[in-house]
Amino acid sequence: MNSLPRRSASIIVLAALFGIPSLCGAQAFPTRPVTVVVPYPPGGTADILARTVGQKLSERLGQPVVVENKAGAGTAIGTRYVAEAAADGYTLLLGTVSSHAINPAMSQVGYDPVRDFTAVASLGSIPFVLVARSDAPYQTMPELTAAAKKQPGAVSYASAGPGTSNHLAGEMLGSAAGIKLLHVPYRGSAPALADVLAGHVPLMFDLQTTSAPYVRQGKLKALAVTGAQRSALMPSVPTVAESGLPGYEVSAWFALFAPAKVPRPVQKRLSDDLAAVLGAPEMVQKLRELGAEPDARSPAEFTSYVRSESEKYEKVVKDAGLSR
């Protein structure tokens, strides 16, 4: 028998035993379907985004990308599931500001938002807009803060519930502006917005996608958007930072994460393919139709951002007395 095949066989066995990356594992990725876990019920923005991106990612990977909804415990069930999954790149998470910043600050969720995940790609972010009912006595952020200072606790705002993004946006505003706002929680954004439209509550931090049609119809007025820059959806509306509170930023951001310690070549393959998917003009257009601003940060940059967001919301929760 020729000695070359025996030598090659020995090398392959050693590669399998010791994980030599040039001959096995990462370079073969992917050889089967990839699952994207969405920690929300079907039909919401996160779900739509995961399915839209997943379809295009599948074309580049040459394997199906399956979206699996694992809702519950305020995103903790699905997020923890991915944190505990095999670090092989076949299980990803559609993570959000709630799963990776707000919920870990609010309660014991069973995972660390930075240590237990590998950032793969930032997808985009949707800023909130501070809307007031059409007959509210203030037209701008400075007028609102002046009214709130004159009567502490008399100006109320609606939210989707305690510990939600739009609740904490109000807590952050109160802290930054030195004012006291009255929080009125609802069971979801839809009933909260309905009561603002009906005139029962004067204010709400709502996703710009939802409120923009009512602003255009004159049923609501937009006082400020909460992103770092002005929104393409409402270019004439100033940011909160422009309105006298520099550094203020709240956005509902979305990103794809893998479990911690996923092999570097696998992370790079996913990140590179997602960068191509997200940079395509049709995907940029789709994101903007969802009200999202594309986000081109690298995985390393986004990891730093997640860390800063986690620290920010830890402080907001602590300052507001919202204990774990």
The neighbour count for residue 52, using CB atoms within 10 Å, is 18
Per-residue pLDDT reduced to its tens digit, 291-302: 888 888 899 999
Per-residue pLDDT reduced to its tens digit, 135-152: 899 999 999 999 999 999
pLDDT at 44 over 80: yes
Q: What is the pLDDT of residue 232?
A: 85
pLDDT at 10 over 50: no
Per-residue pLDDT reduced to its tens digit, 230-264: 988 899 999 999 999 999 999 999 999 999 999 99
Q: What pTM value is reported for the model? A: 0.85
Kindly state the helix (H) or strand (E) to which residue 277 belongs, with its residue range. helix 264-279
Instruction: Please give the Cα distance from 52 to 286 (Å, whole number).
Output: 8
Distance of CA 294 to the CA centre of its chain: 12
The neighbour count for residue 242, using CB atoms within 10 Å, is 15
Cα within 13 Å of Cα(119), Cβ side = 22
Nearest alpha carbon to residue 92 among 117, 114, 72, 111: 117
pLDDT at 226 over 90: yes
Q: Is the separation of the CB atoms in 263 and 26 below 8 Å?
A: yes
Is 113 exposed, middle or buried, given 0-12, 13-18 or 19+ CB atoms closer than 10 A? buried
The neighbour count for residue 146, using CB atoms within 10 Å, is 13
What structural domains does the chain harbor? 32-126+252-319 (3.40.190.150), 127-225 (3.40.190.10)
Distance of CA 284 to the CA centre of its chain: 17
Which residue has better confidence, 63 or 4? 63
pLDDT band at 27 (very low <50, low <70, confident <90, very high): low
